[in-house]
Amino acid sequence: MTQAHAASDSAARRTLYEAVVRSLASGQRPQAVAKQLTRRGVPPDTASQLVAQASGALLAYRRSPEGRTAVMKRYRGRMVRGLAWAVGGLLVTAVTYAMASGKGGSYYIFWGAVLLGAIDFFAGFVGWLRHQSEI
């Protein structure tokens, strides 16, 4: 095996490993990721080993101080974004209602912004609480 071929093989393995880590980090089940690898031509034993290594590395990262900080930041961001949408929807609804009640006419209820904002806030809050219990 030439040195260029070995370097190319190593780079391909690293790229494949990173793709597996991204798939697992995005929430895909390990079995599904291994099945995708075997469909791409990776032998089943190699796919299982690759997924197991990536799962272990991802778990270690999530338990590390940097990983916990990143997860908490993501959940806080989701809560802030959800709260902003919900409050913004309520505020615009109140403004259009006040304008319509003074002069007569119609007003808009921004229930989509309020509802989706509340859902996003509570999803972030539940994730934050669940992550707090792991610390």
What pLDDT, in 10s, does the model give residues 53-99? 999 988 888 888 888 888 899 999 999 999 999 999 999 999 999 99
Residues 6+ apart with CB under 8 A from 117: 81, 82, 83, 84, 85, 86, 87, 88, 89
Q: CA 60, CA 41: separation in Å to the nearest integer?
A: 28
Decide: pTM greater than 0.85.
Answer: no
Per-domain residue ranges of the chain: 3-63, 65-134
What pLDDT, in 10s, does the model give residues 97-116? 999 987 788 889 999 999 99
